[in-house]
Amino acid sequence: MTKPIFIYLVLFFCLACAKKQTDTTEEPTQKEYSSTGGPTFGIVIHGGAGTILKKNMTDSLEAAYKEVLTKAIKTGHEILANGGSSLDAVRKTINVMEDSPLFNSGKGAVFTHEGKNELDASIMDGATLNAGAIAGVTTVKNPIDLAYEVMVNSEHVMLSGKGAEDFATRQGLEIVDPSYFYTKKRYRSLQRILEQEKTELDPDGGTAFVDPYIKDQKFGTVGCVALDKNGNLAAGTSTGGMTNKRWNRIGDSPIIGSGTYANNATCGVSSTGWGEYFIRGQVAHDISAQMEYAGKTLAQATHNVIQEKLTKMGGTGGVVSMDHDGNVSMEFNTEGMYRAHMDAQGKLTLGIYKENE
């Protein structure tokens, strides 16, 4: 081989290697991008579902709900826009709704048959499938924060009652007197149901248990799903349960797979509704499973689970959900659901009633 040919081959090989290295380093590290050129992210929330009709809503009350929904979702969106985690966005967003007397969580929690407030919450990390939940606490100001502490600072998934409250104290969470959760509106709701019980008899001649899910179809649970710039999903749910509940009843909100679920491979889900049916149907996980195993889109999965499977069972309520690409579904089979969504561009969508109202 002559010297000029050898030099030419060496140069060709070096140039080819350099081009290959350049091509590799220029590939984006994020799979999905917003129209502004940055990584996609987003957040979606609910404040409960049920018989929510515009004809029964005053202008001032509607404005109050929209104000808190807007404040809550903007809190989480700001965290995401600044590169914060989906877990932080979910917690801080739910904190805003827990601190409002408008929603059945935290400050606005409903009363049990005995006149107490028993709070439930859960949170899940879609990146690790780690989760935390608490049930039946009466002194923790922000239950979603306690669920988070269970997830990151214990080897457990769910704690309940006095043990959960002791753990909250050890973790330095804000503890309040149970009277903090008293609101006149929620207490009056309990008294109305108790009066109905006095006038209705069961087959054995005693007073009947009046189910508020039948008498007053409103579910004030709050929840949030967020997708951060790193592509991580998180979901959380917080509630006071059902008015007039007895025997330390626990609904779907603190149960992973029923009220809350998150998996980076599929989606994040937060539920609200008649909890017993959401538990039986494992609603939140079913949506994820249909995406993973049946190849359905988020919209197809949520429609099937809420409008077909849940409805056929006799359950009512809804979900907010988001997939790993930032697509959102706010599906419900009731007359309304308090809900909001903000995308990577900061576009805010608010809703209370059915779309055709």
84-100 burial, b if ≥16 CB within 10 A, otherwise e? bbbbbbbbbbbbbbbbb
Using CA atoms, how far residue 341 sits from 41, 73, 167, 202, in Å, is: 11, 7, 33, 45
Task: For residue 199, give the 3-state DSSP assignment.
Answer: helix
Distance CA 26, CA 13 (A): 20
- Confidence class of residue 198 from pLDDT cuts 50, 70 and 90? confident
Integer angstrom CA distances of residue 214 from 88, 114, 243? 36, 20, 11
Dist. CA 87–CA 260, nearest whole Å: 13
In this predicted structure, what is the pLDDT of residue 30?
A: 30
Task: State pTM to two decimals.
Answer: 0.86
Return d(Cα 304, Cα 288) in angstroms, integer: 12
The dihedrals phi and psi of 115, each to the nearest 5 degrees, come to: 85, 25
Residue whose C-alpha is closest to residue 110's, from 182, 57, 47, 55: 182
Res 156 pLDDT > 70: yes
Can you tell me the distance from the alpha carbon of 40 to that of 342, in angstroms, rounded to the nearest whole number?
A: 11
Residue of higher predicted confidence among 32 and 119: 119
Q: Is the pLDDT of residue 11 over 90?
A: no
Residue 306 φ then ψ, to 5°: -85, -50
Rounded to the nearest 10 degrees, the angle between the axes of helix 86-98 and helix 59-81 is 160
Q: What is the CATH number of domain 45-351?
A: 3.60.20.30
Mean pLDDT for 165-178 is: 98
From the list 224, 210, 250, 244, the residue with the least C-alpha distance to 322 is 224
Q: Which amino acids are annotated catalytic? A: 221
